[in-house]
Amino acid sequence: MPRPPLAREKVLDAFEQIVIADGERAATLDATARAAGVSKGGLLYHFGSKEELETGLLERLATLTASDLERMAASPEGPVAYYVRTSVMEDHALDRALIAASRLAQGGSAAAADMLRQTRRRWEDAIRPHVRDTASLDLVMLLSDGLYFNNSLDVNGPERLVPHDRELADLITLVLRATAVNPSQAAEGEDAVAPPPSDS
């Protein structure tokens, strides 16, 4: 699949950044062109309207989600552990696309709300075969939601709201025990769960 033109991606990056920082209303064509360092004509060459910018952002989210699902399927620790671990945001492209889509949905975009529902459904479908029942799937998804939400509040605050390293590995082990289809699957998953190596 060919990569999108760099100039187009630069414009989309600028739109995404404004939506995240200042909301959908602030992300006008003029503001986006200025932030991208292009003329308005240059912006309109790639995106003929603000609606096309929004569509481009949602297409980016769909593409990034597909790549994430591929990594999830190939992860040695298994889809459940991968999903829980990556629910702690690290300002990756997927994180930014999700936040921007959420801002668009909050601003009244039905397309963004629908894309967020589709994205969640795709992750649920990937995890479902690896948990024992619907309650287990709900546990994984809601835990992920909580990690994601608290991570957005945990910006150098006085209290750490999101577990990291060993704490996160222990949490993942607990989730695998609670949700695995069978005990041997949980044990295999626990063997693959380890905290990231220390920098020290």
**33 and 110 together in one domain:** no
Clarify whether residues 67 and 135 are in a common domain. Answer: yes
What is the band of 7 on the pLDDT scale with cuts at 50, 70, 90?
confident
186 or 33, higher pLDDT: 33
Which tens digits make up the pLDDT trace of 128-176? Answer: 999 999 999 999 999 999 988 887 775 555 556 677 789 999 999 999 9
Per DSSP, the three-state class of 49 is coil
Q: What is the CATH number of the domain that holds 16?
A: 1.10.10.60
100 token code pair: 């921007």
- pLDDT over threshold 80, residue 92: yes
* Boundaries of domain holding 77: 58-192
Do 107 and 144 reside in the same domain of the chain?
yes
Which ranges constitute the DSSP H helices of 47-153?
50-74, 79-85, 93-106, 110-127, 134-153
Please indicate, yes or no, if residue 200 is contained in any of the structural domains.
no
Kindly state the percentage of the chain with pLDDT values over 90: 72
Shortest CA distance to 112 belongs to which of 58, 53, 64?
A: 58
Q: Is 103's pLDDT higher than 80?
A: yes
pLDDT at 111: 97
Same domain, 69 and 136: yes
Q: 68 and 147 share a domain?
A: yes
Per-residue confidence band for 6, with pLDDT thresholds at 50, 70 and 90:
confident
Domains in the chain: how many in total? 2
In this structure, are 173 and 125 located in the same domain? yes
Least confident of 2-6, 30-34, 146-150, 166-170: 2-6
Distance CA 176, CA 115 (A): 28
Name the CA radius of gyration of the chain, rounded. Answer: 19
197 belongs to a structural domain: no
Q: What is the pTM of this model?
A: 0.84
Q: What is the mean pLDDT of the chain?
A: 87
Tell me, yes or no, whether 27 and 76 share the same domain: no
Would residue 198 count as lying in a domain? Answer: no
Q: Residue 198 — pLDDT band, cuts 50, 70, 90? A: very low
Q: Based on the fold, state whether residues 165 and 142 are members of the same structural domain.
A: yes
Q: Which residues contact 197 (CB under 8 A, 6 or more apart)?
A: none
